Structure formats: C-alpha cells, structure tokens
Structure 1
Amino acid sequence: MWVRHCLAMPVFLIVAVLLAAFSVTRAAGQEGSAEAEDNGPVAGLTHYFEAVETLAGAFRQTTRDETGEVIEEASGHFVIARPQRFVWDYRTPWEQLIVSDGEKLWVHDVALEQVVVRPLEEALGVGAAQLLSGDLSRLEENFSLTAGGEDVVILRPTDPAWDFQRVQLELEEGIPVSITVEDGLGQRVEVVLRDLTLNPDLSPGRFQFEPPAGADVMQGS
C-alpha cells in the first residue's frame, strides 16, 4: 500500500521520466526520426534531450479533476540525471521525498515517518516504463510526437490502455518549462519548472536513499 498523499502518482512519474527518457535514447547513438529533424518545437526538444544529461530546478505542481477544479497544489525542488535517476523534494503542502536510483523508487512521507519502496519499472506503470526503455525505435512505434503550437510538443501513446493519454510540453528557448499530463479519467497534472540549471555536477550519491532511523519501511504492492 502506498503512503498517504501520493501526489498524483503514477501521473507525476510521467513528468520525471519525460525529462530523462529521451536523453537515454539519444545517448545510445540512435538517429532521430524525420519528424524530429523538422524545424519547430519537436526539433527544439530533440536538441534539448541531446544536450542535457542532468537538470535541477524548482517546480509547482497543480492537479485538476475532470471538471477543471483544482484538487491539489504542491511545490518543491528536483534533480534529474540519466538514466532513470531523479529526486523530487516536495515542501508544500507537506514534506515528501521521492527518489529513484535507477532500480528502486523510494517514497518518504516525512510527517508519518513512512517509507515505501518498489522496483522502479513496477512503480511507473506501462506507459512510463516504456519511456525509460532507451530504445528509440520502440518509442517511435508506441508514441506520436507532434507540434501543438509554436512552442508546444504533444506526446500521445498509441495504446489507449496505457497510464496516460496525452502529454503537452511547453518550451522556452528550447527548454521544457511546463509539462501537462492527462490520464484516461479526466485528471490533469501540470508541472511548471523554474530556476533551471542545465547539466549541474551531481554526485551519484545524490540519488541514494537511506530510510531515516525509526521510519516504518514497507514494500509497495
């Protein structure tokens, strides 16, 4: 069982892996699709993922229900490094730390002194795990990547049974500054990124997690 206040997971996790997944495929030496090589926001996003290996900044997360009403707001800081490593440090409205070391996902609810740990791919669900595959040909087979405006890229899975149905990325000078994820039930999560630092020097230990003394550690299911 997950801890209290899971902050819109697994939708939230799509945001984290999107900022790292394409860099994995480009790092493997694959060539981009003809569409990605066209001028426009898709090409700009491709360039970003080719150039960025680590990313750090602050975020503001807003979750809306099917009517558009805000049901949750949160904020904090994050760091990401390929492949598959990230830390999302929620500070409001409660303290929660989410850490991936590339193999396991740790969720620490500070107030409840609870930690839940799961294998990363199991926690992500089908759609997000596919993004982390590092196989560009599979990515292009299972997702459509199109321009949704001058500075907007739309990502849609071809399988309607996946964990999300539409992702919108807004770019500013080729850098993602807003990511909106829509699931199949009408829920929408928008994450606005700010104070970004590209390719900061991050120690591998930044993505290791040791449960605090006295915390109740549970295996997720």
Structure 2
Amino acid sequence: MRLIVYQNMFNLEPQRQGGLAMVEKDCRGLACPQPVLETKEALEGLREGEVLRVLVDNEAAVKNVSRFAETQGHRVEAFKEGDYFVVEIEKRGAGVPVGEISCERPEGEYWAILFPSDRIGDAEPELGCRLVASFFKGLREMQPKPQVILFYTKGVFLLTEDSPVLEDLQHLEKEGVEILACGTCVEYYGLGDRLRVGKLTNMYEAMLTLGRATKIIRL
C-alpha cells in the first residue's frame, strides 16, 4: 500500500511515513522561467515514484513545465482544476542534468549579450522590469552561458546596489561570465560609487570584445 502525504507548499522537505510523498508546489502568478526553476528544485528533493503537483495559472506555464519534466524522463499529466492548471509529475529515475540537455557551444564560439536598458522592451515599465528579472534568473540556469554581458546607457543601473537582479549578476560573474559596464555611461549618471558588480570598460575595449564575438544578442 502506498501512503501519499500532502505537505505544506512552502516546505519542500517531503513528509514521509513509510511510503511515498506527494508534494504540491504553487507557482501561480510566477513569470517564466520561474515555474520551471521551482519545478526543477522540487523534483531534486523527491525519490523515484514520488509525485509533484505543480499549480500554474496559464497554458504557457503548463507547456513549459510539462516539456521540462518530459525531457527529464518523468511521467507527466496536465489537467485543469477550477480556475487553474495542475501539472502532475511522477519522478522516474534521477533525471537528466540540465546542462546535458542544453545545446553544446560549438568549438571556438564566443558570444556576447548587450544590455542598453534597465528593462526589456518598450512596454509598460513594470512589465519590462519583470522581464529583466525573469531573463537573468533563467540565464543562471542556462548552459552554455555567454562569455560577456555589456551594459551601457541605462543598462548600467542594473549593476548598482539597488538593482533587482544584482544577486543574479554576481552569481553569473562568479561562474566566469564577464560583466562589463560602459565607463562613460556610469560617469554620466553619477553611479561610480554605487556599482556592486562588473568592471568598467571604454568604447575601444568594448569594440575589441565585440569584435571577437561570433554571436551577439541585443536586448
């Protein structure tokens, strides 16, 4: 007989009483890729045969979470309950390390990301800021990572003590991603004593760096 124990959604330590646990993770209201990252973390704490129920509030999240779990080799079933969706995942095996299911970087490839703003897109500021936060959370989990990220114009505000993505950028820097800030831009906005991550560069050095890049992404 299998004993299924529901646990508090805020406590990811499965509660087991001689059987297998069923864990519920509420990801409603979270922007992409956060539901996938929360799912990944929750699955790592489960044993084979245990079940994770992920609650989401939109079909895009259903597809993203389901696709991730399926690529890890787990059994997935998605359905609607009331005004939200449930992705039910039965853990099978240890899963596949995320780095192994990512695209390998071709030998000699060197790619850079350009960040000219403190938000993404030209929509409402709140939406643009949410997209920035989601982007860098996803980049932390991504393999392979870019070699360099160049921040210029208002993008340099993301490197300051008040940045909502400061922790993510510091993490990326520790992993070897070069974080560069346009020195002219930092001086123009008077941010010299507020930078908490990255190093200053000038336009000539930036051009040399970008000249080595085989791929450049501008956001």
Query: Does the pair score TM above 0.5?
Result: no
Higher relative contact order (CA 8 A, sep 6+): 1
User: Which protein has the bigger strand share?
Assistant: 1
| Shorter-chain TM-score tier | under 0.3
Greater gyration radius: 2
User: Which protein has the bigger helix share?
Assistant: 2
Query: How high is the TM-score relative to the length of structure 1?
Result: 0.22
Query: How high is the TM-score relative to the length of structure 2?
Result: 0.22
